Structure 1
Amino acid sequence: MDQILLLAADPTAWAALATLIAMEVVLGIDNLVFISILTNKLPAHQQQKARRIGIGLALILRLALLGTVAIIVQLTAPIFEVFGHGFSWRDLILIAGGLFLVWKATKEIHHSVDPDPGSDMFESKKPQLGFSAAIGQILVLDLVFSIDSIITAVGMTDHIPIMVVAVIVAVVVMLIASDPLAQFIQKNPTVVMLALGFLLMIGMTLIAEGFGAHVPKGYIYSAMAFSGLVEGLNMLSRRAKKRR
């Protein structure tokens, strides 16, 4: 309690909190785009429930990982080397998560452009996504993004209360934005393809990070913002043509 009071009176702590909240919200965008695209494939009456469960799991995972900060920090220690490059548990998790995102985005893009939406090489048995399967896939990506989020938080501050507040605020923002974002994506088919492209780029970035090639997040989000701006202009253009 004394530590919390001291932090509350420290301007530096407030600055660190504001910076960390902004960083956590930005990192949560990737997680939220994936959840929105995946839950939009469920029946309408299950979509909101799945989104809330997915974001709730993200909060639980992040808070649980904060309780094991000492272990999380050790995840960055190399466990083996290949051609002189050391790989840590964090690297392996990022590579696995990146491969999963690339596979998922590629599958969804394939289904979007395939004139025959029937069973194919990606989905030979069950074309309809089930609720449990959706939650399972969300949980996998929640874990990847949560580990990356907490490791980022640990690198920015040593104070657990600041991390907890930042994580809670970021997840609340995700929860508030989830329904509007999902509805916007669902109502605009071209935005779906753009979001899938984002997931593909994020997946490749995670794989690159896992192999030790650091990609500045500013470049990634600048590209996403520019693409979103161009798509927004396209949407305005289409509406203007309809009015004419």
Structure 2
Amino acid sequence: MEMLQTAEFWIGLLKIIWINIILSGDNAVVIALAARGLPPHQQQKAIMFGSGAAVVLRIALTVVAAKLLALSYLQIIGGILLLWIGTQLLQGEDEEEGEGKEHTGLMTAIRTILIADLVMSLDNVIAVAAAAKGSMTLLVLGLAISIPLVIFGSQLMIKLMERFPIIITLGAGLIGWVAGETIVSDVALKSIVESNGWLHYAGPALGVAVVLTIGKMSSGKSKPA
């Protein structure tokens, strides 16, 4: 293929890989939080499915992201979903046992990863699409190469969470921050946010507070007396 021999192609590919590395930080945190309560053999499945799905979603969203971002209230709904996911991920590990429960736990983790990544990727894929400059080959190749990076990042985060539990709280807080950013970025709130610049920071900060407060309260109630 002639395009493989051009400097423009390789520069574009490197841009996409680099952008995806930066954007994959949030994904790695979500995947690690969702998978941490699973048995070790199921953690690998959740990471593999979650990482692969994250890339596939970004490819699909690249085609329609600009149109979706123009829809009023879509990001508000997505942000609220992220708030809910953040509180759920903070509630701790599921101690139920049995093959049926393990299967349910794996499916729940994968579903959580898919929903969170769908919301978190909406505005991020604009940057990836710009780097691809309309080349679907470049887009798919660049994101596919990034899959191992997401997998490695998720595995590393799980190990860090096991050693330093505070990272779980920080990760949930990050999801709350992204949720707040997503909500205040909605086109329906554009004029309000533009005339009140402090909302750019208050929204994400409130998202962190909501996730940590509700998540900790729910976690405390779920513990046996």
Q: What TM-score does the superposition give when structure 2 sets the normalisation length?
A: 0.68
Q: Deviations over 1:16-44 (max 9, x none)?
A: 32222111111111111011011112233
1:142 aligned partner:
117
SS state of the match for residue 42, structure 1?
A: coil
Choose which of 147, 150, 175 in structure 2 pairs with 1:174. Answer: 150
Alignment map for 1:1-244 (pairs within 5 Å): 1=1, 5-6=2-3, 8-65=4-61, 69=63, 71-78=64-71, 87=72, 92=74, 94-109=75-90, 111=91, 130-156=105-131, 157-210=133-186, 211-212=189-190
RMSD of aligned alpha carbons: 3.0
Unaligned runs of at least 5 residues, structure 2: 95-100, 202-225
Change over 3 Å in CA distance of 1:108–1:59 after alignment to 2 = closer
* Residues 28 and 171 in structure 1, CA contact (< 8 A), matched pair in contact too: no
Change over 3 Å in CA distance of 1:141–1:104 after alignment to 2 = closer
Q: Distance in 2 between matches of 1:196 and 1:158?
A: 35
Change over 3 Å in CA distance of 1:76–1:107 after alignment to 2 = closer
Higher gyration radius (CA): 1
* Residues 120 and 178 in structure 2, CA contact (< 8 A), matched pair in contact too: no
Q: Quote how far apart the aligned CAs of 1:187 are.
A: 1.7
Higher helix share: 2
**Which deviates further from its counterpart, 141-150 or 177-186?**
141-150
User: Identical aligned pairs, as a percentage?
Assistant: 29
Aligned pairs, number:
183
Q: Quote how far apart the aligned CAs of 1:59 are.
A: 2.8
SS state of the match for residue 148, structure 1?
A: coil
Unaligned runs of at least 5 residues, structure 1: 79-86, 118-125, 220-244
Q: Distance in 2 between matches of 1:107 and 1:173?
A: 25
